[in-house]
Amino acid sequence: MDGGLRRASLIENVRFNAAVVIPAAVQGLFSRRRAAVGAATRAGVDGQAIALLTGMARRYKGRPIWIRLGREQAVLVLGPEDAVRVLEQAPEPFASDPPSKRNGMLAFQPDAVTISRGALWRNRRRFNEAVLSGGGGPLLRTWLDASDDELDRMLAGPVAIAAGELDWQAFHGMMQRLARRIVLGEGAAEDEALTRLLEDLMADANALPGETGPEVGQLEEMIARHVDRADRGSLVARFSGAPATARTNSVGQVPHWLFALGDTLAINLFRALAVLGSDGDGLAGARRSRELLRACLQEAMRLWPTTPILVRETTKAVEIGGERIPKGTQVVISNLLGHRNPDRLDQADRFAPETWVHGDAASEPSFNHFSRGPQACPGATLAIGVGEETLGSLIDRFTPRTLSGFVDPAKPMPRMLDFFSIRIRLDPVWAR
Ligand code: HEM
């Protein structure tokens, strides 16, 4: 039945669950828990995971193996070619709604594209792509103006009050407002209640309830009010031109965009800023060229991927590594291994933005922080565009100096960078 793939040893199974599976659940799969992230960082769990997975990739020569994922037997992919193949064949036969993701996401976005399958996935994906792509031109200008505006607000508010110090709370708050403005329009800037409700539902999702949260209806009503207003320049103003049917649930696609901009992008930007505030050469490069600035953001995402594992579930019996795997099997791809494997990457533990400009980082098959294939992130271009503007405008006007979360550019990059505890001093550029 196991098709002849080798099996992880007992000790590897124990260590895999201890270093990869349990820490991810404890830190919060959908809403990160501050204390748990701090504890996991102090314990260095991602370092242990990378050492374990690198050792296994060596031992099994990059071939997939059977591993225990909690109580279930799953396939762990250990080589980039297999990872690419699995990701390229989504959503069938490799669906992106394994039980943990489905049981969690049902709590706050039961109709999300990413936990849909077959014709329904295609329907919702088409809608997501239509709304999220083509952010150029006048629309992008609106978003960039909103980003500058929100920066000003944060600098004049929490940063000024903290005498020039920027912490996660201030940065996160700014990004959440920006997310509301980009997605739902100007009229949503003050709608903190909506963000709070989404946050609460996502915190509930951490317990993997497996059913639609009782307040999802309320959340969708709150979103629908902004959709009806269709503020000029917002993503929801594009709904009228996007292909949708009754089954799409356009409003139900919105929670993903809000947390992806307000949380996921925020975490990645704050880490990139912490690196730039630690690395004078990196900062000079990012100020010199927008291409290098974008590369710094890609590098932060490579070094500390916000999606450390991608999990798929087979929708039918399928061949992996030359063997036949039964329907309903979970398939695990580790971005920690793919992004930090010293056997494959010269830059594994180095901050190397230049590899995105002059090297082959952009075509490296093991870099999957935006995933890849048909279910790759449809918001990647938007995320990079907004991220570039927000970071670019900040470092044009201020010199960041990282106080907490400093990464020494002369040393190997730490395996974890706890965004909650990053603090950055912002000195106006004229004081440089
Ligand atoms: C730095 C920011 C971002 C990162 C690192 C990121 C990363 C990812 C990853 C890894 C996936 C695949 C997850 C999986 O298969 O389990 C994904 C999917 C997705 N992302 Fe993003 N994302 C970002 C920003 C955004 C933004 C800004 C949006 C929309 C406004 C967005 C919308 C989506 C959607 C709708 C999917 C599901 C696609 C599908 O399943 O067909 N993301 N993203």
Give the model confidence (pLDDT) of 59-78 as tens digits.
999 999 999 998 899 999 99
Going from the Cα of 149 to the center of ligand 1, the distance in angstroms, rounded, reads 25
Contacts of residue 331, Cβ cutoff 8 Å, sequence gap at least 6: 64, 74, 75, 77, 86, 94, 311, 312, 313, 314, 320, 325
CATH, residue 117 = 1.10.630.10
In a domain, 217, yes or no: yes
The pair of structure tokens assigned to 31 is 């809403």
**Closest of 185, 141, 125 to residue 378, by C-alpha:** 125
Q: What is the largest CA-CA distance in the chain?
A: 68
Sign, CA dihedral 26-273-299-177, equals positive
Note whether residue 1 is domain-resident: no
Contact present, 272 and 391 (Cβ < 8 Å): yes
Q: Is the CB of 132 under 6 A from ligand 1?
A: yes
Please give the tally of structural domains in the chain.
Answer: 1
Residue nearest to atom 16 of ligand 1 (CA): 310
Question: Residue of the nearest CA to atom 31 in ligand 1?
Answer: 379
Distance from the Cα of residue 140 to its chain's centroid:
21
Return the SS3 of 418: coil
User: How confident is the model at residue 142, as a pLDDT?
Assistant: 84
Burial 415-428 (b: 16+ CB within 10 A, else e): bbbbbbebbbbbee
State which of 339, 377, 389 you would mutate to test the pocket of ligand 1, scoring each by most atoms of that ligand within 8 A of its C-beta: 377
Q: Residues 205, 112: contact at Cβ < 8 Å?
A: no
- Say whether pLDDT at 241 is over 70: yes
The average pLDDT across 349-359 equals 96
Residues 220-227 have a mean pLDDT of 98
Task: Say how far apart CA 394 and CA 293 lie, in whole Å.
Answer: 12
Task: Average the pLDDT over 377-396 and give the result.
Answer: 95
36 vs 14, 19, 24, 40, 303, CA distance in Å?
A: 20, 14, 10, 6, 20
Examine residue 243 and say whether the peptide bond preceding it is cis (omega within 30 degrees of 0).
Answer: no
Cβ contact 54:67 at 8 Å? no
- Centre of ligand 1 to C-alpha 260, Å, is 7
For residue 43, give both structure tokens: 């314990």
Give the residue whose CA is nearest to atom 43 of ligand 1: 377
HSE (side-chain half, CA atoms, 13 Å) at 102: 11
**What's the chain's average pLDDT?**
95
- The angle formed by the CA atoms of residues 57, 63 and 66, to the nearest 5 degrees, is 90
Question: Is 110 a member of any domain?
Answer: yes
Is residue 2 scored above 50 in pLDDT?
no
- What domain range is 393 assigned to? 10-431
**What proportions of the chain, in percent to the nearest 5, are helix, strand and coil?**
55, 10, 30
Ranked by mean pLDDT, which of 121-135, 143-157, 365-379 comes out on top?
365-379
Per-residue pLDDT at 335 exceeds 80:
yes
User: Residue 82: CA atoms inside 13 Å, Cβ hemisphere, count?
Assistant: 24
Asked whether residue 414 is domain-assigned, the answer is yes
Contact residues for 128 (Cβ-Cβ < 8 A; gap 6+):
113, 253, 378
- The answer, yes or no, to whether any atom of ligand 1 lies below 6 A from the CB of 369, is yes
pLDDT per residue as tens digits for the range 270-285: 999 999 999 999 999 9
DSSP helix/strand/coil, 425: strand
Beta-bridge partners for 423: 167, 404
What is the identity of the amino acid at 421?
S
Quote the CA–CA distance of 265 and 179 in Å, as a whole number.
10
Query: Pocket of ligand 1, candidates 370, 372, 384: which has the most ligand atoms within 8 Å of its Cβ, to mutate?
Result: 370
Asked if the structure places residue 3 within a domain, the reply is no
Question: Is residue 57 over pLDDT 70?
Answer: yes
**What percent of the chain is predicted at pLDDT more than 90?**
93
Closest ligand 1 atom number to CA of residue 335 = 10
Q: Is residue 243 part of a domain?
A: yes
398 DSSP β-pair partners: 428
pLDDT 10s digits, 196-213? 999 999 999 999 999 999
Whether residue 4 is contained in a domain is answered as no
- Pocket lining: 116 vs ligand 1, CB cutoff 6 Å: no
Q: Which residues contact 153 (CB under 8 A, 6 or more apart)?
A: 174, 177
**Peptide bond between residue 23 and the one before it cis (omega within 30 degrees of 0):** no
One-letter amino acid at 260 equals: A
Whole-angstrom Cα distance, residue 66 to residue 64?
A: 7
Token pair 């207003």: residue: 229
User: Does any domain span residue 60?
Assistant: yes
| Better pLDDT: 4 or 216 | 216
How far is the centre of ligand 1, averaged over its atoms, from the C-alpha of 60 (Å)? 31
What's the confidence (pLDDT) of residue 68? 96
pLDDT of amino acid 4: 78
Task: Please state, for a pLDDT cut of 70, what percent of the chain lies above it.
Answer: 98
Report yes or no: 235 and 217 within 8 Å, Cβ to Cβ.
no
